[in-house]
Structure 1
Amino acid sequence: MRHSAIPGSSGLVRPMRLLGDPVLHAPCSPVTAFDGALTQLIEDLYATMYAAHGVGLAANQVGLPLRVFVYDCPDDEDRRHLGHVVNPRLVEADGVTVTGPEGCLSLPGIEAGTRRFDHAVVEGADRTGEPVRVEGTGFFARCLQHEMDHLDGRVFTDRLRGLRRHRALRAARRAPWAP
């Protein structure tokens, strides 16, 4: 039996958009209606993220070019961070840069060392329009920056250079899910 207090428990798993889909490569539009449809989208994003065993998911990854993402992600101290942000803005990304393994639900099975800042702060709103501020370090900072990239029309391979980029894109072309 599903319990509505558990994120995603009332959501539907939506099909994932994959690398090459135009919705992943264009900036998303701001959310303008804080209503039941937004609440359902957030629930669907959680359900889809959990079904795919992810730690974050942006709305455009399920085909809706709206500025909203969900997360259920640990930091480097294994503290769980759970939430969503509507109309987020990356207001800080600083500190040391760390190259660490990064993957994406829209590029299943592809992973590459990607440079990210070790600290990030995102500000936006919750599903009711109330302001939220989310601060992360380590792996959680990586997650926040990754989801913000999605909303700006970028995937993690856009951040790669040289041999890393070549290998990741070659693997994506050869993947069983490639068009």
Structure 2
Amino acid sequence: MTAQILVEKKKLAKPPLDLHYLGDRVLRQDAKRVTKIDNDIRKLAKEMLQTMYSSDGIGLAAPQVGINKQILVVDCELDDATTPPFVLINPTITKFSQEQCMIQEGCLSVPGVFMDVVRPAVIEVSYKDENGRPRRLQAKDLLARVIQHEIDHLKGVMFVDRVENHIALTQELDKHGFSTQSVKQISE
């Protein structure tokens, strides 16, 4: 089941929320669980969607807009106005496939930088929707990739931390004015 929060998929001249960028401390904190799903949370989800669409994004986590809560929005169907987005509150990945795949990722918090990242091809995620109902979703391909990328944000992890080609990463970050000091290499 997808979100019932309806937002027009268009760019706004002034998105309601400001994006934070690589190097900003807020992106490195563990997001707090949402304890009460109410109109404020639904309003936040709507504003996150508007901000995401305004930046041509397909996923956005609350820490990227400076809000330390476990909420993310995902829409892999930007060109289809009839496909509603996903709103995932307190998401947890419950299963990963053994199969891994490498795909180029980008991030609204690291604009212009696109690098290859290896992740599981299929996941199962449990979460609450914007009405507080428990949900379970099996995701594959791009949707699985985006959900994993956004859940990383809730743990203070960014996609650049997962890039294995350090030379190419350094070149890309330098080219776009980001410091390699902001990368926290992880190995799993």
TM-score range, shorter chain: 0.7 to 0.9
* Identity percentage of aligned residues: 31
Q: Secondary structure at the match of 1:85?
A: strand
Q: 1:141 aligns with which of 131, 140, 144?
A: 144
Report the Cα offset of residue 96 of structure 1.
1.7
Aligned to 1:42: 45
1:5 Cα shift?
A: 5.8
Q: CA deviation at 1:8?
A: 5.8
Contact 1:118–1:138 (CA under 8 A) maintained in structure 2: yes
| Amino acid in structure 2 at the alignment position of 1:166 | T
Structure 1 residue aligned with 2:175: 171
SS at 1:146's partner residue?
helix
- In the superposition, the TM-score normalised over structure 2's length comes to 0.80
8 Å contact kept, 1:88–1:122: yes
1:63 partner letter = G
8 Å Cα contact 1:31-1:67 kept in structure 2: yes
Task: State the partner residue of 2:27.
Answer: 24
TM-fit CA distance, 1:174: 5.4
Name whichever structure is richer in strand by fraction.
Answer: 1
Label 1:170 to 1:43 Cα distance change in 2 as closer, same or farther (>3 A). Answer: same
Aligned partners of 1:32, 1:170: CA distance in 2, in Å? 40
Q: Secondary structure at the match of 1:30?
A: coil
Aligned to 1:90: 93
| One-letter amino acid of the structure 2 residue matched with residue 61 of structure 1 | Q
TM-score (norm 1): 0.84
Let me know the Cα RMSD of the aligned residues: 2.2
1:62 to 61, 65, 86: 65
Number of the residue aligned with 2:185: none
1:130 corresponds in structure 2 to: 133
Q: Specify every segment of 5 or more residues in structure 2 that has no aligned partner in the other structure, as ranges.
A: 78-82, 180-188
Match of 1:72 among 75, 78, 81: 75
Unaligned runs of 5+ in 1: 75-79
